[in-house]
Amino acid sequence: MQATPITARITLPPSARRGEVVTVRVLVRHPMERAVDAPGLTPVPRKILHTLRVTYAGEEVFRMTLSPGIAANPYLEFTTVATETGDLVFTWEEDGGTVYQREARLVVA
């Protein structure tokens, strides 16, 4: 399955010490379109990000199930422990099967 790039602001420390707890902040730009069912309005296809998975150095460190009640451009924050220099890979799944992906590098000194 080919992952599509997505606009996301990923904030983490420029470097961390081994064993340090680091805070990761993510703001993803996505409309979280719930479709329109009001009389007189044109229906649009539903597009909701329903799953976010984050891996660090190949291991899953965070998973979240999102729902239609989450606002457009969802923001979240989580922590992980710096173990080695490696990529955090953020993978979002959308209704309809589209998969989006972004990466950020965590440098462990």
Q: How far is CA 85 from the centre of its chain?
A: 20
The model's pTM is 0.88
90 forms beta bridges with 54, 102
22-31 burial: b if 16+ Cβ within 10 Å, else e: bebebebebe
Strands 99-106 and 86-94: antiparallel
In tens, the pLDDT along 69-83 reads 778 899 999 999 999
Would you state the pLDDT for residue 10?
Answer: 97
Length of the chain: 109
For the chain, the helix, strand and coil percentages under 3-state DSSP, each to the nearest 5: 0, 50, 50
Would you state the pLDDT for residue 69?
Answer: 76
Q: How far is CA 76 from the centre of its chain?
A: 8
Would you state the pLDDT for residue 70?
Answer: 78
Residue of higher predicted confidence among 102 and 44: 102
**Residues 52, 91: contact at Cβ < 8 Å?**
yes
Would you state the pLDDT for residue 37?
Answer: 65
What is the C-alpha separation between 65 and 62, in angstroms, rounded? 10
Would you state the pLDDT for residue 38?
Answer: 67
In tens, the pLDDT along 10-69 reads 999 989 999 999 999 999 988 887 776 667 777 777 788 999 999 999 999 999 998 877
